[in-house]
Amino acid sequence: MDSSVLDTIVALSVLVFVVSSMLAMGFGLTIPQIIEPLRNWRLVLIALAINFVAVPALAYLIDLVLSLDESLFIGLILMATAAGAPFLPKLAQVAKGDMAYSVGLMVMLMVVTVLYMPIALPLLLEGVEVDAWAIASSLIFLMILPMAIGLFFKWRYEGVADTLEPLMGQISTFAIALMVVAGIIANWDSIVGLIGTRGIVAAAVLIVGGLAMGYLGGGSDAGKRSVLGLGTGQRNLSAALVVAGQNFSDDPDVLAFIIVAGMIGLIILMLGAGEFGRRVEVPESA
């Protein structure tokens, strides 16, 4: 299949997944349910510290050990500073975690990412200029707006929302499966090309390290612990790609690394979410 066709399939499947999953979350939750888990200020501060201090520090440590090429280091830093991925609610669903907390955490990390990247990246990467609106607009129109529409329907037309929620969930599941398969095929050369550069190792260590730090910092509640682990391991691919496109469009290795790392992360975290889900005790029916 032509690579341009595969790239189009990947782009469309990402768009469908993000919008449908955000609609599903809105149809299934209320605003108080989303806000309530974030009232735990200790957990909020831990989540912020891990995502915006510990993960970028881990990226620097990885580069110190592996001595990455400049393009791969740039891609790694872009991923490390971008949090709040739209895949988190789907991962939380697989892990049987706290769904309301997953949405609240995702929105919080998205908002902070928009404020954080324009400040942090010029300090971490010399010569980088970040358009905050370019990042914010993609997150607002593709994630926050669909979720707001879903929340409105849940409040005003609950019956319609309850009917549409499972449909949106099925669409998002199909879209993410299509995205993984098409993404692997479309980026196979890039995946193979990264094997000898230690790029795959760097991406895997960042993702697994984020997962471990989030999980260990998630407190005693198993549902929140798994969500924070998955939310820290899964970086915001959309925000990282926006910044890469603005600043490093002439370096295809940066974009390729982010795309491949995103695919690797999705596979690792889906497996991790499945393992968390199997560990959840299911009450016996009467």
- CA terminus-to-terminus distance, the chain: 52
Burial of 133-142, coded b for 16+ CB within 10 Å and e otherwise, reads: eebbebbeeb
> Is position 119 within any domain?
yes
| More confident of the two residues 241 and 283 | 241
Lowest mean pLDDT among 148-152, 190-194, 276-280: 190-194
Alpha-carbon gap, residue 225 to 217, rounded angstroms:
7
Q: What is the CATH number of the domain that holds 193?
A: 1.20.1530.20
The answer to the question of residue 246 being in a domain is yes
pLDDT band at 139 (very low <50, low <70, confident <90, very high): confident
Q: Is residue 282 part of a domain?
A: no
User: Is the CB of residue 34 less than 8 Å from the CB of residue 193?
Assistant: no
Better-scored residue on pLDDT, 111 or 163? 163
| Range with lowest mean pLDDT among 132-136, 164-168, 243-247 | 132-136
Is pLDDT of 247 > 90? no
Domain count, the chain: 1
Alpha-carbon dihedral angle through residues 66, 71, 73, 79, given to the nearest 10 degrees: -130
Residues spanned by the domain of 121: 3-277
- Average pLDDT over the chain, rounded to whole? 85
C-alpha angle 57-62-65 in degrees, rounded to nearest 5: 125
Q: Find the mean pLDDT for residues 178-199.
A: 77
Q: How many CB atoms lie within 10 A of CB 129?
A: 10
Q: Is residue 284 part of a domain?
A: no
Choose between 17 and 281: higher pLDDT: 17
Work out the percent of the chain whose per-residue pLDDT is above 90. Answer: 35
Length of the chain in terms of residues written = 286
Composition of the chain by helix, strand, coil, percent to 5: 85, 0, 15
**Structure-token pair, residue 218:** 């998630």
- Residue 90: which pLDDT band, with cuts at 50, 70 and 90? confident
pLDDT at 2: 66
- In the DSSP assignment, the letter for residue 126 is T
